[in-house]
């Protein structure tokens, strides 16, 4: 079964997608981490964030591995280097939506994400999974939440990684990123027509996971386990 979970930053996607993957014994794929990894590499290598060709090559060629740490937490490696924390640093968070707006970057990562979904047993989490990457996914979910709640969640998530930023700053960052993500010309963030929408503002993680797991029981693998 392929489950596509889309939604804006801080809507609870990562936590919920991981929990759904665990509950249903599916592989979790954090596609945002891939855009972040390209951004990190571009910043480190001094590649212009306006250079579509150079960014596209980075996206196509980077050696990325999405796996789990010994503690069972998602781990991101680029060319063997653990970048799990580095890709969440403020500079990467500020720049990633510029990188994600490039056609060649999106094209390269889309192909790689489809490759990762080939096993047919995955939960992919992102912004364009149900609309572009896996339009034939068996189940599409679109998560939303109020901006205030999203900022507080992001703050807690970052604090766990030892990064401290005020909720107000995060709220501004989130709104800016939402605008970029939903107004870009290539694969903008939008709810797939056939997705179930869940507002997570007042729901616990458990409640959302229960709802998605229940929906998953109801759908067969119509997509044939492909994107
Ligand atoms: O989910 P996140 O905050 O880690 O995503 C980082 C950025 O990547 C964000 O600006 C949206 C973008 N992104 C995207 O455009 N398409 C995806 N499938 C996943 C993330």
* Residue 127 CA, ligand 1 centroid: distance in Å: 6
Residue 143's beta-bridge partner residues? 198
Using CA atoms, how far apart are residues 147 and 126, in angstroms rounded to an integer?
Answer: 18
Atom of ligand 1 nearest to the CA of 100: 15
Indicate the class that CATH gives domain 2-218.
alpha beta
Any ligand 1 atom below 6 A from CB of 100: yes
- With contact defined as beta carbons under 8 Å apart, do 65 and 77 qualify? yes
Nearest CA to ligand 1 atom 20: 32
* Residue 208 CA, ligand 1 centroid: distance in Å: 21
Q: What is the pLDDT along the chain (227 residues), one digit of tens a residue?
A: 999 999 998 898 999 999 999 999 999 999 999 999 999 999 999 999 999 999 999 999 999 999 998 888 899 999 999 999 999 998 998 899 899 999 999 999 999 999 999 988 999 999 999 999 999 999 999 999 999 999 998 899 889 878 899 999 999 988 988 888 888 888 889 999 999 999 999 999 999 999 999 999 988 655 567 89
User: Would you state the pLDDT for residue 117?
Assistant: 95
Reported pTM: 0.91
User: Would you state the pLDDT for residue 180?
Assistant: 83
Any ligand 1 atom below 6 A from CB of 97: yes
Any ligand 1 atom below 6 A from CB of 39: no
Domain coordinates in residue numbering, the chain? 2-218
Select from 15, 10, 9, 17 the least CA-distant residue to 139.
17
* Residue 178 CA, ligand 1 centroid: distance in Å: 10
Residue whose structure tokens are 């149900």 = 130
């Amino acid at each position: 079964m392929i489950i596509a979970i889309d939604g804006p930053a801080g809507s609870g996607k990562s936590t919920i997608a991981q929990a759904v993957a665990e509950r249903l014994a599916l592989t979790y794929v954090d596609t945002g981490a891939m855009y972040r990894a390209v951004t990190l590499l571009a910043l480190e290598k001094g590649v212009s964030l306006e250079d579509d060709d150079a960014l596209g090559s980075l996206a196509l060629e980077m050696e990325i591995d999405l796996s789990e740490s010994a503690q069972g937490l998602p781990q991101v490696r680029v060319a063997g280097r653990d970048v799990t924390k580095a890709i969440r640093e403020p500079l990467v968070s500020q720049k990633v939506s510029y990188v994600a707006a490039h056609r060649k970057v999106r094209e390269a990562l889309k192909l790689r994400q489809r490759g990762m979904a080939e096993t047919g047993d995955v939960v992919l989490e992102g912004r364009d999974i149900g609309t572009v990457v896996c339009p034939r996914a068996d189940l599409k979910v679109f998560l939303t939440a109020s901006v205030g709640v999203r900022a507080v969640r992001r703050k807690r998530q970052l604090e766990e990684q030892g990064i401290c930023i005020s909720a107000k700053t995060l709220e501004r960052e989130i709104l800016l990123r939402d605008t970029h993500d939903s107004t870009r010309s290539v694969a903008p963030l939008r709810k797939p027509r056939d997705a179930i929408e869940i507002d997570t503002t007042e729901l616990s993680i458990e409640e959302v996971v229960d709802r998605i797991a229940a929906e998953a029981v109801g759908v067969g693998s119509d997509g044939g386990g492909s994107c």
